[in-house]
Every structure is written in C-alpha cells, then in structure tokens.
Structure 1
Amino acid sequence: MSADVMSGERILIAHPAADLYGSDLQLVEAVRALRGAGAAVRVVMPEAGPLHGRLRRAGAGTRVLPFPVLRASALSGRGIVPFAAGLGPAVAASVGLLRRARPDVLVVNTLTLPWWVAAGRLAGVDVVVYCHEAEAQRSRPIQTALAAPLLGARAVVANSRATARVLTAALPALAGRIVVVPNGVPDAGAPAPMRERAATDALRCVVVGRLSPRKGTMVALEAVARLRADGADVRLDVCGSVFPGYEWFEAELRERAGRPDLAGAVVFHGYVSPTRPLLEAADVVLAPSFGESFGNAAVEGMLAGRPVVACDGLGLGEVLSGAPRTGRLVPPGDAVALARAVAGLAADPAAARAVGAAGRAEALERFSPGRYRAEFVRAVRAVLPRNRRKRPAKPAEKSRETGGNGTSCG
C-alpha cells in the first residue's frame, strides 16, 4: 500500500477546543488530508463551538466529551489542583470511548492533552501526538514535564523545526520519533492590490491572533504608540479574542488603547473569520508573537500580499526565513524595533509592495495544503502497519454522532 493512501482505517482525534484559531484550522486541514487518503475520521472535543461545523464539512464526525485541558493557568500551583482532580474521571471516560471505538490510531492534537496519551496506551491504541507548541519560555523542568508524555506516543508530528528543537532540547530521547510537517495554509485567491499611498500618507496595520501576552499584542500597541509619537498617522486593527480566564489581558489592552497617545487609533474587532478582508485593508501585517511554534497568521498575511513584520523567534523565523526579501524580522518583545521596521516600509511604498509580492510567492510555494496533506498522511500512515496486523477489522457501524462519513468511531 502506498505511504500516502489509507483504506478505511479509523482515526480518532482528540482536540482541546472548538474555536477557529491556528491549531484549530490546521486540524481541519489534517482531517481533509486523512479523509482524502481514505481514512474514517472522528474528532472528540470538550465543548461545542464553530469548529464542529468546519470539521463535518471536511468529512469528519465530531463528538463532545467534557475533559480537562492543560492551559497555562493550570501550570501554576493554584491551577494544577482542579486540573489534576479531573484527570481520573477523564482518563476513564476516554479509555471507555477508545475501547468502544477501536480506532487504528489516536491522534492527540497539541501538548495540552497529555492524559489522552495515557488513555491510548491503556486502551491498547497506538498514539500520534501532533505538537503545535514550542514552550521555549518555560523553565526547563516544565518543558521536560510537558514533553515527557510524548514518550508514550509511537510518533510525534511537529509543526516546525523550532517545535522539534524545543522538544528534543527538553527530552533528547524524543529525537528518533519526531517528524516535522510544516503547516499548510489555504489561499483565499489572488488578493486585491495594495492601495497606492505616498510615504507620508496614513498607515493601517493589523494584528491577528488570540489576545494573549505571549502573542505580543501589547507590543503591537506600544509600537503603534511610538510611531504616532514620531508624528506618523498609524492605525491598528486588532483581530482576536481571549481564552476564558484571560479577560484581564483584554482589559489591559483596552485600557492601554484608551490612553491619549493611542485614543481612537486602535479598533478591537473580536474574533474575525475570514481574516482576508482586514488583511487586504492593511498596509502592514504585524506578527509580534514571541512564543509562536509556527505562525499561520503570518502566512495568511503573506498570502494576502501584504508585507509582514514578525518577531524573529521560533516558528516565525522559519516562516519568514527569506527576510528581508519576503518580510521583516525584529527581536521578540522589542516595540522599538517593531516600530522602526514598520516605519521603514511606510517610508518606501514601492519596497513594501515588492515585499508583499515576494512573501505571497514564498507562501504559495512552501506552505501549500497539497504539500502539507501528503506529508501529514505519510506521518500517520507510518504508524498503521502494526495496528493492522494486531487485530481484525471491525465491521462498519451506523454513526451515532453528528456529521461524518458514516463509519462509527465511538
């Protein structure tokens, strides 16, 4: 059998949220890849949300099964207690689901569900962990603790070389089981041309992503404040929302945007989908995250044909590896450098258009969904032969879940 073809294998995917951000949308691409190769796919999530509809349209069945998720707040002494208290019942429920479903492979999507790896082992199901996190800012003990459950997986798919480096630095024993598959980001089509502007005209910037300290949203606000202090008419569109429990950060952002130096210059749009209209309306796309394992939003900015200014750290450095031809890279967390890079593009509109065009060409070549789907299927397919020999195939059942392809997986 070809390495990129499946014939009815059952894949169960555990995913931590039902939103439509980077790792959520990448999951949709992963499902399209597996379905296109012939696999039957089910996705289990702890909540209802818009991702269910996207996954069903991609050919997967979905199911809600409440279970805890290892958010950053749970890594504190206070937060770990309620998280740990829910693990026992969650593992039991997950093992029960896996024994009923009998998937050929369990894909645990992100590091935030380490106990699903244990559930897979207890149920006798081989596990692939799909890692979208590069926790380089964490202490080494926490990095090691986060990476340790991956030793229970037969394979680990990392979304960038940066992610793989962080994992293996924390736990060298993982090196032999990691496969790097850079994300594939769908193109919304040829973008509208960049607007004609003189070097002194108003400038519109946009930042897209979760409102989170590690995403660098506050750095973007401070950079715009510096540009305005220098006399530039710069506006900023902020697209994104917070995880529950991080409302305090949005309040801080809004308070900062309301101060005199930024008053009226920042617009908070909340969650936005699709993002292409706001990206096309921008003159410069900002990607100020300093903890990004890949950076889908940066790729979307490149595909929109707009110059992207990103932090040169982890995955964003890989996405914009062709800089300065394909974008601009600045030190993480440095609002002064971010402002300087934006000012340079604002002062030379022709150069900004050239950077946008080169970035789009680069993104189309390196981050195409077709390339991604073939590589992702190959990584999951490599885990299947042992399972196929281990037990006889289970007859198809009528699905008890919403959507999907008619083959039951739980």
Structure 2
Amino acid sequence: MRIVVAHNRYREAQPSGENTIVDAEIAQLRAAGVEVLPFLRSSDEIPSLPKTAKALLPISPIYAPRAQQELSRLITEHRPDVLHLHNPYPLLSPWVVRTAHKHNVPVVQTVHNYRQVCSSGLYFRDGVICQDCRGRALGVPAIVHRCYRGSRAQSALMATTLAVHRGTWHSVDRFIALTSAVGDHLRDYGVPAERIVVKPNGIPDPGTPAPLGDGFLYMARLSPEKGLGLLLDAWRRHPDGSLGPLRIAGDGELRHLAEAAAAERADVTYLGPLDRAGVRAAIDASAVIIAASTWHDVLPTVIIEALASGRPVLGTALGGIPYLVGADAPREPAGTGPAAVATAAPGVGRVPLPHGVKEGETGWVVAPDPAAMAAALPVARAGAAALAAPARLRYERTFHPDVVTKRLIDVYAALAR
C-alpha cells in the first residue's frame, strides 16, 4: 500500500505536538510495511521563499499553486492509493483535497483542531470558550475579534478560506476524529457519521510502569487555555503539604504564575521545560497527572503518556479529555445527591465522590472551575493506586502504536478498495 502523507509543519520555534504525532505516525506506518510518500512543507520555509512565492502567500490558504503542481507530479509519478492530510495551512491549502480527487485518489484527513469552523482552531477567545462562528457561512466574529494571529486582515483571509473550502471539506472521503468529541464537531459541521472514524493518536510504549510516585504533575504549555490558573486557584484551597507535591512542567506566557506558586508554597515545584528524560522522570515521580484545560482540548498527548506509564488522570470535562480517561460513556449511577457514589475499579469497592466529580476507567473529570477541581484533588490522591493498573491497560488496548496503526491501515484499505 502506498500513502501520501501531507502536512504543513508548524514552526519549530513553537513546539507542536501535531508535528511530533505526524512524524511518529509515518514511522509507525513504515514499520508496518506501508510505503509512505511524505508531502511535507514547513512554515519555517516562509522567510526563504522567492519573492514571487512570498507575493502569493496571502492567498495560499485558499489556493497554493506551487503545492498543487508538486502534488500532481508526485501522484502522477507514484500513483498512491490514498492521500492522508493533516494540517494544510498555509503552504498546502485545502485545495490539495481537490487535486487528489482530480487524480482519483481518495483523501483521509486527521482532524487535529476545529478549523473547519473556527479561524483560530481552538473555539477559545479572550480566556473563555467561544463558538460564535458555528453555523455561519462566513465567520464575521473571527474578523471582528482578530481571532487569527491577532490581525483583522489575516482573520478575514482565514474566515474567507473556511467559507470557500466548506465544499472541499465535505468532499473528504474519510475523517479521522481523534476523540468522540471531534466526531461530534464534525457531525455538527454536516459530515455524515459513516465518513467519520474515531481513532486516537498513539505513542511509543515506554515499557513496564515504574511504581507509583507521590503527588501530582501538571505538564503543558503555560498558556491561558491550558488551565494553570484554574489549577493553582484550586490547589491554594488546601493547606500547604496536605495533597503531597505538585510539580509543574512547561514554559509559556504564564510561567510567572508557576514561579510565583513555587516561591509561595513548599508543596509546589516548578520544573521548567523538560527534555524527554526529564518528562519520563517527572511522570515516574508522580501518582496523578493533571490536565486542567479550559478549552475543548482535542487530545492532550500528556494524558496518553500518563496512561502508558500507569498513571491515572484528573482532568476537566472538556473536549477529548473525558474520552481519553474513559469517562465519556454514560455510567450506571450508584447513588444520588451531592455525595453520589461510583465504582472505583473492579474488585476495589466504592469510593464516595463529591458533587461534580465524575470517575472514568482511568481517572476523574470535573467542571472547569476551581471549586470542582479543589474537590477532586483529594479524591484523586486517595484513588490513584486503584486506577494505576486500569490506566496502563487502557493504553495497551486503545493507544498502543500496534493498535492505532492497524486501525489506520484498515481505514486506508477500505478506501483503496
């Protein structure tokens, strides 16, 4: 089987989980015997483009002529079975879908964000969730609020691009939704359910989990939508040292909040940005991983890393987080009222849960507010050991590369037939 993987890489100065996932997926496909033809562009190329190409940059999200010519040559020469598209902006453009179809090549797209509708791709503006452009033929609110790169002109271009390519997106043969929440987003956009496959990303197996550590780890980009402020507000509602240690890893515009918390409390440590060895050590030292996003986070890779390491997760009930921790399916209620009870794990017995805290297979989800997070922190600390083994099992069954790569190849094979 021969697959073209098309992706516009994000700038290396802004570390992108999407770039990492695409690289890993290409490696996993090749290891499984699939012939991969990378069709990759990088936003880092933009400064070195010739003047004529730079002159066309403003329209490239709508139509990128150079990319279409090069893709046509690649398809003509190699006759791939499927084109798999990830991010098309700005140097590829969604027009690559039309180019592939012109050559009778079916198209799969992995949906990493909400950019079919939202110019920023986040459904998040001015510190709160925003879906003002849903259902609109043209995303005028995005232009008014300068949602794309803080520029009204660039926001107008992106909103126009989304309007022009609505039909393009509806022509995609198969969408890969990373979680059930992304599947809901696509159905709301008008994509038929039979053209949507829920297939999460996978990460390499780190091996047998280390014994459970102590306390909590928050590891994310330190930006408003990732919820560091929410977590610290919740943490301060407990006496210093009562929950064990809180380790904060990452970098970004809210770094000062992490540094201030570490200076203020003995139970908070700011680790800064970590390399892979540092990430591994931080996870091993902890008992619970926190994902406190205040936007509809599509698929925080840190959660999959936690499950692979046998660490349960405490997260907000937004985006793909409930799916990742196995809390998106309805559970049989075990009680009523503010102290409802849920089963912790097979054979473990019952754990009382505060109002607003929901337990999944491998962790807990709460509303994105400090009071709910504060109520869940001691529950997670007490229940971590019971959910450690289920966390690792969910990784093996759902997020292991062998599992997700087989599912992806099955999608290709069905379209190729």
Q: Same fold (TM over 0.5)?
A: yes
Report the Cα offset of residue 98 of structure 1. 1.0
Q: Alpha-carbon deviations, 1:49-82, whole Å to 9, x = none?
A: xxxxxxxxxxxxxxx67799xxxxxxxxxxxxx9
Secondary structure of 2:181's counterpart equals helix
* Partners of 1:88 and 1:214 in 2: CA distance: 25
Give the direction of change, closer, same or farther, for the CA distance of 1:234–1:359 in structure 2 (3 Å limit): same
TM-score normalized by the length of structure 2: 0.68
Report the Cα offset of residue 286 of structure 1. 0.5
Report the Cα offset of residue 21 of structure 1. 4.8
Q: Which residue pairs with 1:338 in the alignment?
A: 373
Aligned partner letter, 1:45: R
**Does 2:14 match 1:26?**
no
The correspondence of residues 8-407 of structure 1 with structure 2, limited to 5 A, is 9-17=2-10, 21-35=16-30, 36-47=32-43, 85=58, 87=60, 91-102=64-75, 104=80, 105-110=82-87, 116-122=93-99, 124-125=102-103, 126=105, 127-134=107-114, 135=122, 137-142=129-134, 148=166, 149-169=168-188, 171-195=189-213, 204-228=215-239, 232=242, 234-242=244-252, 249-251=253-255, 253-254=257-258, 257=261, 261-262=264-265, 265-274=268-277, 275-289=279-293, 290-321=295-326, 323-331=359-367, 333-346=368-381, 348=382, 351-384=383-416
Secondary structure of 1:15's counterpart equals strand
* Partners of 1:88 and 1:184 in 2: CA distance: 29
Higher relative contact order (CA 8 A, sep 6+): 1
Secondary structure of 2:237's counterpart equals helix
* Partners of 1:360 and 1:165 in 2: CA distance: 27
Give the unaligned 5+ runs of structure 1: 1-5, 49-63, 69-81, 196-202, 243-248, 386-410
Give the direction of change, closer, same or farther, for the CA distance of 1:154–1:11 in structure 2 (3 Å limit): same
* Partners of 1:383 and 1:375 in 2: CA distance: 13
* Partners of 1:45 and 1:364 in 2: CA distance: 33
Tell me if structure 2 keeps the 8 A contact 1:37–1:377.
no
TM-score normalized by the length of structure 1: 0.69
* Partners of 1:239 and 1:366 in 2: CA distance: 26
Report the Cα offset of residue 376 of structure 1. 0.9
Equivalent residues, number: 330
Identity within the alignment, %: 22
Report the Cα offset of residue 15 of structure 1. 3.3
Please list every run of at least 4 consecutive aligned residues from structure 1 whose deviation after the TM superposition is greater than 6 angstroms: 65-68
Tell me if structure 2 keeps the 8 A contact 1:304–1:360.
yes
Aligned partner letter, 2:403: R
Report the Cα offset of residue 263 of structure 1. 7.7
Secondary structure of 2:9's counterpart equals coil
Report the Cα offset of residue 43 of structure 1. 4.3
Report the Cα offset of residue 117 of structure 1. 1.8
Report the Cα offset of residue 108 of structure 1. 2.1
Report the Cα offset of residue 375 of structure 1. 1.0
Secondary structure of 2:276's counterpart equals coil
Give the direction of change, closer, same or farther, for the CA distance of 1:133–1:111 in structure 2 (3 Å limit): farther
Measured on the aligned residues, the alpha-carbon RMSD in Å equals 3.4
Give the direction of change, closer, same or farther, for the CA distance of 1:67–1:37 in structure 2 (3 Å limit): farther
Report the Cα offset of residue 131 of structure 1. 0.5
Give the unaligned 5+ runs of structure 2: 50-54, 115-121, 124-128, 140-161, 328-358
Q: Alpha-carbon deviations, 1:261-306, whole Å to 9, x = none?
A: 4488241421532522210111321011242223321121122122
Secondary structure of 1:183's counterpart equals coil
Secondary structure of 2:297's counterpart equals coil
Aligned partner letter, 2:312: P
Give the direction of change, closer, same or farther, for the CA distance of 1:378–1:191 in structure 2 (3 Å limit): same
